[in-house]
Structure 1
């Protein structure tokens, strides 16, 4: 097959404990999936889950034990951090039942859904899509994937984020409004999931702004940590 120009290399993530890498297909994100975060954003209750996407090439891949960097993005004056558990799909499917969801999971990772909050809020007010606030270049720092058989009790794991050594976000995956299995059920009813899909499962309360020079360290118990520095 010939192309009019050389295509970009596929996006892939390192996998803990092995040489093979995980090729990324799509990146799905769940909105407002922790009750306290929903409240701080002006919402309450167990509303039906909703989803948005990031481009796969918006990921900032950080190897285990390393510290990555991301530039402070253009057009914003209010860049927010959102720490998230990321689910990696290993077996695709459509209309997957929650009871069967575990069979489709390859592993888990620590991710950040960085958000140009001022631009997102402007789009909300105008009833327009959030893409400019959520899907910008380098908006998704992510660490290595830990295969599920090495990840421990992810459904009850502590999730946290520190900025310059100070706690900003701290909660438990057990507090997800829609748990991992339920999220896969809802998501696979709307899209046919494919091997290589990533699901950012939502962020707990405590989202706030960062500035150039800030160091962010996110953790999900059993999955290690993700370290990123925001640059000018």
Structure 2
């Protein structure tokens, strides 16, 4: 699934899967998994930049992505590993001011999460290079200042439970990407900045993967205007 960015049909993003992240945004800690979908048109890979839509306050969220390797429906958690082809380092970007407005109205988050370039991703990481996906360090820096630095061991719901839950609702397909949630420390990014993120499975060996994306203003397209 090296070509998951072009082959996958769906990006499934788990919400509030780290307790401290849920609390930093004033949200309740979930008692069961929930997810939202992002369009694959939101993928961006190097050397392309992240684009900030006009009027949007955009936040970074670094995440471990799980790349699906085979079709899965009603997956047994005990067999979940056999459905995983590998992993990817990803950022789930959120137009936070848009999200807050639609949340108040009880509307979907699609606009806030689905803009072009709102899912920056790295290269495919084969499964054997991540021996324990629940002991992975994730970090994110903006202009070399680290903002997020956490471990996947802090997930509320682990990957087998997430795959079982999602596949009980919708069939997973090869190349689909499951974003597993973000540690605390999310914050705004603006045009002119550079965002860097990393993933490591062994502190002594350094990062297994890094992302580097310049951030620019998007010209044209959507412009956020608060409701009156």
Q: Tell me, yes or no, whether TM beats 0.5.
A: yes
Cα distance in 2 for residues equivalent to 1:74 and 1:41: 23
Q: Deviations over 1:18-67 (max 9, x none)?
A: xxx332221110000000001112134442111111111110023xxxx5
Matching of residue 180 in structure 1 with residue 183 in structure 2 = no
Larger deviation, residues 202-211 vs 41-50: 41-50
Q: 1:71 aligns with which of 33, 41, 51?
A: 51
After superposition, the CA RMSD in angstroms is 1.4
- TM-score, normalised to structure 2, is 0.88
Cα distance in 1 for residues equivalent to 2:134 and 2:63: 13
Q: Which runs of 5+ in 2 are unaligned?
A: 202-207, 218-228
Q: Deviations over 1:130-158 (max 9, x none)?
A: 11111111110000011101233321011
Instruction: Tell me how many residue pairs correspond in the alignment.
Output: 209
Corresponding residue for residue 186 of structure 2 = 207
Matching of residue 27 in structure 1 with residue 19 in structure 2 = no
Cα distance in 2 for residues equivalent to 1:177 and 1:96: 19
Q: Deviations over 1:177-212 (max 9, x none)?
A: 111111111111110111111011111111111111
Larger deviation, residues 174-183 vs 44-53: 44-53
Segments ≥4 residues shifted beyond 4 Å: none
Corresponding residue for residue 18 of structure 1 = none
- TM-score, normalised to structure 1, is 0.86
Q: Which runs of 5+ in 1 are unaligned?
A: 1-12, 16-20
* Other structure's SS at 1:231 match: strand
Q: Are the counterparts in 2 of residues 217 and 228 from structure 1 also a CA contact under 8 Å?
A: yes
Q: Are the counterparts in 2 of residues 68 and 227 from structure 1 also a CA contact under 8 Å?
A: no
